Amino acid sequence: MTRIDWKNLGFDAYRTRTVVRSCFRNGEWSAPEATEEFSFTFDPFSQVLHYAISCFEGLKAFRHKDGSVALFRPDRNAARMRMTANYLGMPCPDEDMFIRMCEECVKKNLEFLPPYGYGASMYVRPLLIGIHPQMQLVPYPEALFAVMCAPVGSYYGESMKSCAAVIPGNYDRAAPKGSGRYKIGANYAATFMPYKIAHEQGYTELLYLNSSTREYIDEFGSSNFFAIQGNKYITPLSDSVLPSITNLTLQEVAADLGMDVEKRPVRLEELGSFEEAAGCGTAVVITPLSHVDVKPVLEEPFVGKSFRFFPDGEVGPVSRKLYARITSIQNGEAEDIHGWCHFI
């Protein structure tokens, strides 16, 4: 095996040794199989290929100082996958099977788990896809559930690096009463082109508004939104955002730190009244914003509004404090008073 440079890991589809998988057919899941074969075989008419019958999860495993290994809140990912699978009309593993297969995947790939102290972790990616060959637009109870993993560092190349975001006037992420709150692959497909344009213009992130009235903040393409105003942790309440486990955790951490937590609709104009604003999620952890530009048409030169938080490179004190607290619980440095670490 090539030696892994733990210090300089990005967030890539790193090929480890083993994938763990199971198929649902004839009303039952097959016994989970750990395989070193990094390919799947299914019918060209499979639902996943034509109708995007696909959903996934993302969670992390951490090596603690004492050598133990823990997944962070896997029960929450199991519950969210179940909610998403219901939306797609798919069979879904129960919590026990979901967690056992995640554990198995980490155990079988232990040599790829970053050691303690490098700010890196193992990203675990459970995937559920519809493999029934089918033309009709109706659910069918046949699926492949697979868990893969990859050693990861920072999503954007450097942790807690502040980034610029853009609100793209001519792109929406999720339809009203649509699929925004579910972790389906198709939600991400809709972000590829606006991300490409935004990146070309020097923005790191896309911040989406509610698509019906475009008055309220929903979330980023990759993560939830939160803001700090005085002693308040504020995060949008919306039917169209993914219920982020990191955001939920940060709300609990903020409350533990004596902050007031407000989960409510957040008007776009309020951006001007926040001292700090950031993205949060498993991949991005906390990504502080330097500024947000509002662009009525993403492709055209900037004619919209700009909300500034910190100059590039600076990060607000509350975001820093929240980051320090959540990562120290994940790494086993701080006491896990809520029981979020699931030891393998």
In order of 133, 134, 184, 186, the CA distances from 43 in angstroms are 6, 9, 21, 20
Q: Provide the β-strand partners of residue 152.
A: 121
Hey, how many other C-beta atoms are within 10 angstroms of the C-beta on 262? Answer: 16
For the chain, the straight-line distance linking the first and the last C-alpha, in angstroms and rounded, comes to 24
> Does 304 help bind ligand COI (rule: CB under 6 A)?
no
What is the distance between the alpha carbons of residues 322 and 335, in angstroms, rounded to a whole number? Answer: 15
Let me know the angle formed at the C-alpha of 186 by 182 and 189, rounded to the nearest 5 degrees: 125
> Does 165 help bind ligand PLP (rule: CB under 6 A)?
no
Hey, how many other C-beta atoms are within 10 angstroms of the C-beta on 207? Answer: 27
Extract the tokens encoding 282: 């498993």
Q: Which does 245 bind (CB under 5 to 8 A by kind): ligand COI, ligand PLP, none?
A: ligand PLP
> Does 331 help bind ligand COI (rule: CB under 6 A)?
no
Catalytic residue among 183, 263, 295, 305: 183
Using an 8 Å Cβ cutoff, are 195 and 206 in contact?
yes
Interactions with ligand PLP, residue window 209-268 (CB under 6 A) = 219, 222-224, 242, 244-247
Query: Looking at beta carbons only, is 62 or 307 nearer to ligand COI?
Result: 62
Number of residues interacting with ligand PLP: please give it, by CB under 6 A. Answer: 12
Sole window of 22-30, 158-166, 226-234, 280-288 interacting with ligand COI (rule: CB under 6 A): 280-288
> Does 16 help bind ligand PLP (rule: CB under 6 A)?
no
Active site residue 183: yes
What is the distance between the alpha carbons of residues 30 and 116, in angstroms, rounded to a whole number? Answer: 35
Query: Looking at beta carbons only, is 164 or 283 nearer to ligand COI?
Result: 283
Q: Which does 224 bind (CB under 5 to 8 A by kind): ligand COI, ligand PLP, none?
A: ligand PLP
SS3 206: strand
State the alpha helices, DSSP H only, in 72-129: 74-88, 95-108
> Does 283 help bind ligand COI (rule: CB under 6 A)?
yes
Number of residues interacting with ligand COI: please give it, by CB under 6 A. Answer: 5
Binding site for ligand COI (CB under 6 A): 58, 222, 281-283
Binding site for ligand PLP (CB under 6 A): 58, 219, 222-224, 242, 244-247, 281-282
Q: Which residues are catalytic?
A: 183
